[in-house]
């Protein structure tokens, strides 16, 4: 069965610091990859997704993620975080042929102004 | 555009009681999902509907959980009887995609926080 690991459970940064959140998955075949974000008091929403093509995917609010197939990774990055990026971030993977997306346990990001 | 609506937002019950959650997806969205999110974990898909048919319910504990999506619009998720370990946030999401492959953008509702005492 597919598993998704988000190794950083809690990350605390100051504004303007660079961000990288790790996401690794176990299934070696074709995958669709997602990052979701949940801001305090808000609904879970899609940040970005990868299906095929350019492995560097750009999402909303200056976020990007890079799919590295050889490392089974889909890390989320942002060059300069803002206080408003404080949120819970979830990586999700949809394995080829499956209808069931598998979510990681999430990373809580706190950005100090 | 109205988002995904869920009710109630909070529910507290005692173990062995029954509970039902309601979801109204975004108008025109063919696919509807129910997730269970236990504290400290990511969402876990329970059941996925495409219109009023079930696409996947392999992770639904069918001895106590049931769900239906009548007329391909609203959906209800029921737990009967509830156990302590059912305490979680129950999320409903919908997507426009009619393929059932979960590749289309999912729009999530606010969730229902269930506490079982």
Reported confidence tier of residue A2, pLDDT bands at 50, 70, 90: confident
Report whether B98 contacts B51 (CB < 8 A).
Answer: yes
CB < 8 Å to B106, chain A: 46
Interchain contact A88–B (C-beta under 8 A): no
Residue partners of A97: CB distance under 8 A and separation at least 6: none
pLDDT in tens, A8-20: 899 999 999 999 9
* Contact criterion met (CB < 8 Å) for B100 and A99: yes
- Would you state the pLDDT for residue A5? 95
**Per-chain mean pLDDT for chain A:** 93
Residue B99, pLDDT score: 64
Which range of A72-86, A91-105, B92-106 scores highest in mean pLDDT? It is: A72-86
Who's near B87: CB < 8 A, 6+ residues apart? Answer: B38, B39, B114, B115, B116
Mean pLDDT, rounded, for A50-68: 94
Q: Can you give the pLDDT at residue A50?
A: 92
What are the φ/ψ torsions at residue B56 (nearest 5 degrees)?
A: -155, 130
Chain B nearest C-alpha distance from A83 (Å): 23
Tell me what the mean pLDDT of segment B40-46 comes to.
94
pLDDT at A95: 83
Contact A24/A71 with Cβ under 8 angstroms?
A: yes
- A71 falls in which pLDDT band (50, 70, 90)? very high
Average pLDDT over residues A96-111: 89
pLDDT tops 90 at residue A65: yes
Q: Which residues of B touch A105 (CB under 8 A)?
A: 40-42
Mean pLDDT of B69-96: 94
What pLDDT is stored for residue B101 in this prediction?
Answer: 62
Could B43 and A104 be called an inter-chain contact, meaning their C-beta atoms sit closer than 8 Å?
no
Contact criterion met (CB < 8 Å) for B107 and A32: no
The residue in chain B having the minimum alpha-carbon distance to the alpha carbon of residue A103 is B42
Task: With H, G, I as helix, E, B as strand and everything else as coil, classify residue B95.
Answer: strand
- Residue B111 pLDDT more than 90? yes
Of A49, A94, A99, the CB nearest to B55: A99
Mean pLDDT value across residues B84-90:
97
Alpha carbon of B91: minimum distance to chain A alpha carbons (Å): 9
């Amino acid at each position: 069965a597919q598993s998704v690991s988000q190794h950083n459970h809690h990350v605390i940064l100051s504004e303007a610091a660079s961000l990288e959140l790790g996401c690794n998955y176990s299934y070696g075949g074709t995958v669709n990859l997602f990052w979701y974000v949940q801001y305090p008091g808000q609904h879970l929403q899609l940040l970005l997704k990868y299906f095929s093509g350019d492995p560097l995917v750009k999402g909303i609010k200056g976020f990007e993620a890079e799919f590295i197939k050889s490392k089974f990774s889909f890390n989320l990055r942002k060059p300069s975080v803002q206080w408003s990026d404080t949120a819970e971030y979830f990586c999700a993977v949809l394995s080829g042929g499956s209808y069931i997306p598998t979510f990681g346990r999430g990373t809580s990001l706190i950005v100090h102004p | 555009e109205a988002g995904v609506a869920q009710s109630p937002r909070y529910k507290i019950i005692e173990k062995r009681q029954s509970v039902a959650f309601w979801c109204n997806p975004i108008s025109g969205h063919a696919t509807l999902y129910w997730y269970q999110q236990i504290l400290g974990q990511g969402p876990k898909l329970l059941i996925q509907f495409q219109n009023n048919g079930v696409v996947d319910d392999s992770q639904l504990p069918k001895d106590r959980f049931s769900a239906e999506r009548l007329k391909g619009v609203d959906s209800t998720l029921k737990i009967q009887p509830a156990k302590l370990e059912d305490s979680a946030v129950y999320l409903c999401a919908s997507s426009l995609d009619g393929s059932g492959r979960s590749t289309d953008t999912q729009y999530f509702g606010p969730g229902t926080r269930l506490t079982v005492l």
